[in-house]
Amino acid sequence: MTKTLLRALAGETLPTPPVWMMRQAGRYLPEYRATRAKAGDFLSLCYTPDLAAEVTLQPIRRYGFDASILFADILLIPQALGADLWFVTGEGPRLSTITSAGDMAHFKGKDDIHETLAPIYETIRILTRELPAETTLIGFAGAPWTVATYMIAGRGTSDQAPAHALREGDPETFDALIDLITGATIEYLSQQVQAGAEVIKLFDSWAGSLKGDAFERYSLQPIKRIVTALKSRHPGLPVIVFPREAGDSYPGFAKAVGADCLALDTSVDATWAAETLQPETCVQGNLDPKLLVTGGQPLIDEAQRITRAFRGGPHVFNLGHGITPDADPENVHVMLDAIRSA
């Protein structure tokens, strides 16, 4: 029987939706923390295939999710292009910054990234051998706008102001950066598929800070270019897109970019999405990850409400954002039981 995630992404309505969680391999699991300690630091964990495969497999062993998402990071592409990348404990990623056209001259071409990223492809090959037969393997990358915001600011920012400033003040350099990231992302994801990824997900985590024409030009269009290229190279490849906080731009987005599933953030009402979005595409989401911290009856009620709201069409149950380090692993079992008994 075809894997349940692939069936949902193909448009099938299932009695119980397939389930996986964004950041399901992560700091909320004690086994993850032990493996990361063995690796020494976050980037060493990403670039050590045996260990990266191990943390990818851990939530599958514990919960039996219908899909497994490759353990990596969206900022590996900037590093492969030549940016300096490091992680500050408790604070997150830091990168060398891009502020002018001169900074672009130091980057490699899109076809020169694979030596750096070869361990990621090896992780995927390991997973294709070790995942259960019924579990779908998802590869991923950050969408160009979101990756660019980190490259320009040198870190995550609350309002993406440095990226907006470069976009408005030096559009030629900004467009060149988006073009470089887009091309590199196509090559990176294509290699993931060749290594064994069965589904691709694009995370545009900061899409919501783009408005009007800027959203069309810097979120939608680069994602469309990536999806079109991947589907041309790999016919039948399912793609999930996540333009987080897109708001009024959610309707029509999946169709416009050629994706098979639209992931929704926590702000989206499931009843509205079932009426407005689900008729045109499979939807994914969108439980608030805070409920996996607090648990109890509110978790059960909301998981069942979302499951029931989306029951009339293709749905992949997930969170509206990544699970947080303070989540209780036992609450994930509670969530799964609630979904299956809805």
Q: Is 13 exposed, middle or buried (0-12, 13-18, 19+ CB in 10 A)?
A: middle
- Spot the catalytic one: 23, 167, 225, 244: 23
Q: What residues contact 127, with CB distance under 8 A and at least 6 apart? A: 53, 56, 57, 68, 70, 137, 196
Q: Where are the beta strands (DSSP E) in 267-342?
A: 282-287, 315-319
Residue 2 has a pLDDT of 87
- Spot the catalytic one: 150, 188, 218, 250: 150
For CA atoms 80, 81, 84, 88, give the dihedral sign.
Answer: negative
List pLDDT tens digits, range 69-112.
999 999 999 999 999 999 988 888 999 999 999 999 989 998 99
Phi and psi dihedrals of 230, rounded to 5?
-65, -45
Domain boundary assignment for the chain: 1-19+264-342, 71-263
Q: Find the angle CA(92)-CA(95)-CA(123) to the nearest 5 degrees.
A: 70
62 annotated active-site: no
73 annotated active-site: yes
- Alpha-carbon distance of 135 to 4, in angstroms, equals 8
Size of the chain, expressed as the number of residues it contains: 342
175 annotated active-site: no
Q: What residues contact 6, with CB distance under 8 A and at least 6 apart? A: 136, 198, 199, 238
- Spot the catalytic one: 28, 47, 73, 225: 73
Specify the fold of 71-263: TIM Barrel (3.20.20)
Residue 90 has a pLDDT of 81
Q: H/E/C letters for each residue in 200-238?
A: EEEEECCHHHCCCHHHHHHHHHHHHHHHHHHHHHCCCCC
Closest CA to 274 of 247, 320, 310, 316: 310
Residue 1 has a pLDDT of 57
List pLDDT tens digits, range 42-65.
999 999 999 999 999 999 999 999
Q: Which stretches of the chain drop beneath a pLDDT of 70? A: 1
- Alpha-carbon distance of 139 to 226, in angstroms, equals 14
- Alpha-carbon distance of 286 to 93, in angstroms, equals 26
- Spot the catalytic one: 36, 155, 217, 305: 36
- Alpha-carbon distance of 31 to 176, in angstroms, equals 41
Q: Find the angle CA(7)-CA(310)-CA(252) to the nearest 5 degrees.
A: 80
